[in-house]
Structure 1
Amino acid sequence: MTWIKVASKDDIQEGNGKELNINGQRIALFLSKNKYYAIEALCRHQDGSLAPGKVNGEIVECPLHFWHYNIRTGELLDYMEGIKLTTFPVQIRKNEIYLDI
């Protein structure tokens, strides 16, 4: 495992996302119901960033065309079966957020 410090807990607010660029990889970090999630940032439809999307529990809605993804599992929930984004384990150490990349 390679844990990388990516943000401070203060960098992200409840119900919101933040896009990170880690070694050229775009990752969306979300805080929902006091739990942090990290997922590939780009929607499979037209590569729009999921980070500014609406978050409702474990679901994020792509702001471009309203596709829905589970931010815990990475699964696309509508339109096509079998589409899944990569998710990344998140670890909190004091006030810092680390991802296993």
Structure 2
Amino acid sequence: MTLVKVANQGEVMENGGKEINVNGTRIALFYSNGKYYALEALCRHQDKPIAPGKVDGEVVECPWHSWHYNIRTGELLDYLEGVKMTTYKVDVRGNDIYIDV
């Protein structure tokens, strides 16, 4: 397990996302219902950034073509079965947010 500090609490607004770069890997960090979630930053449809997408509970909608992903599991919720984005464990310590990469 390699924890990397990626943000401070308050940098990601409720029901919002922020793209971060960890050692060359683009990751989307989301905050919803008091929890942080992290998954790969590019939608599987056309490799567009997903962090600016609309978040509702555990679902983010890609702002480009409206694909929906579960931000906890990475699973695509519509269109194709078996499509899943990589997720990352998030650990909050005090004011610091870490991702296990």
Q: TM-score per shorter chain, which class?
A: over 0.9
Query: What letter is aligned with 2:35?
Result: K
| Aligned-partner Cα distance in 2 for 1:55–1:11 | 16
Distance 1:2 1:22 in 2: 11
- 1:54-79 residue CA offsets vs partner (Å, 9 max, x unmatched): 00000000000000000000000111
Name the CA distance, whole Å, in 2 between partners of 1:92 and 1:39: 16
Q: How does 1:1-101 map to 2 (within 5 A)?
A: 1-101=1-101
- How big is the shift at 1:10? 1.8
The alignment of Structure 1 onto Structure 2 pairs a total of residues equal to 101
Name the % identity: 65
Could you say what secondary structure the match of 1:39 adopts?
strand
The gaps in structure 1 that reach 5 residues or longer are: none
Structure 1 residue 84: Cα displacement? 0.4
Partners of 1:42 and 1:63 lie apart in 2 by 11
Q: Residue type of the partner of 2:40?
A: E
In the TM superposition, structure 1's runs of 4+ consecutive aligned residues that sit over 3 Å from their partners are: none
TM-score, normalization: structure 2? 0.99
* Structure 2: runs of 5+ lacking an equivalent: none
Matching residue's letter, 2:75: E
